[in-house]
Amino acid sequence: MGKGTGNDDERHEERREMITLESDRLHFRFPDVHERAECSVSFQRTLRIPDDDTPYPLPPGLGNFPLRHVDDYKSRLPAERLRRGGVLMPMHQAEAMWISFGSDFSHPAYPFAVKIATGKVCAVSGEGWTNHLNRDPQDYVVLPEQPWIDGYCVEKGVIRQFIAMPLGEGYTVEEQITGVAEHGGVQIVAYPMKAERYEAILAKHRARRRSRAQVLHSPPRVQSPSMGLAPGGLMRQEIYDDPYGLDAWDQRHASRCFVTIANSAQWMAMTGEKPPTDPPTAKQYASAGLPWFDYYDGDTEAVSGAEKFTDLSSVADLGAQKGETPLHENESLTETRVVRLAPTGPRPVREPGSS
């Protein structure tokens, strides 16, 4: 593994790859691989869709969650959180999010394979964390083909939304899959495409054009920010199959980041900042006539759902089993205005809109 915001037990030779935090977005750069090998990741606030076993379209982005360097608050964090490094992010309990991916602004964009896990359980395959890519089943998303991921891949073309819940109460995917509440948070590792493979893509692109003419780093310590992600409502979303093949990715170079999730009280105690206010409910948003979204790439095959997620209980279902109501304002929606997005030209942006 290369240098990044997470710490590895093994140290390899010095490389220049790095992760920087810029405007609440993580930027992964690999100049030793290729001058264009760069991608970014942000965490988007969004509506929590109803958890009623009805697949909904994609909700909008309501702005980035704020991110802060863990090392800036080392006097307030327990040693285990500091050892992981990375960044700190606030989420209200039962708040939803989606993860947005971006490539550099060159064309064609530099491809990446990116692994996303919550509590060290892969959001694509349901398998435990490994420091390498796996193809069968695929345990990563491919950029730029995958513009975002909103949740756990439970079946082909359907995900369950990422929902923040406390560790230790049995709701998180980590607890449901592994039986323990240990890690929480979000884990990300990015692998760039091999330079020679990208150069071949670039050469084809040029031929077609001719034919047409902040690196991541004494008050009392606060309670450990033990928040994880749990499966929420169903959403229509495809996780796309790798069109390049496992051999395309330069697994000698990788950068990893651990995102620690803090609840609103913990965030205020550590940073002195107020967290973002609660987003509107899905019902309020839909009643205002604002758009939802559908994204479909007919040229790319979707992966199947993870077998490990077959027996997952959603937050609402598990709450009912426990005699609890963890999701307030969980009413079903009968009407939504859906805007169709397609991967043509510049990458689509999901936002509330005004028309």
> Is residue 64 within 8 Å of residue 24, measured between CB atoms?
yes
Question: Tell me, what's the pLDDT at 12?
Answer: 44
d(CA 49, CA 64): 18
Structure tokens at 283: 């019902």
d(CA 282, CA 285): 5
Contacts for 185 with CB less than 8 Å, ≥ 6 apart:
84, 118, 119, 227, 228, 258, 259, 260, 261
d(CA 315, CA 232): 6
> Is residue 148 within 8 Å of residue 99, measured between CB atoms?
yes
Backbone φ/ψ region at 185: left (φ over 0), alpha (ψ -120 to 50), beta: left
Which residue positions in the chain have pLDDT lower than 70?
1-15, 104-106, 208-225, 344-348, 350-355
Question: Based on the number of CB atoms within 10 Å of its own CB, is 174 exposed (0-12), middle (13-18) or buried (19 or more)?
Answer: buried
DSSP 73-102: GTTTS-HHHHHH-SEEEE--TT-EEEEEEE
Question: Tell me, what's the pLDDT at 1?
Answer: 39
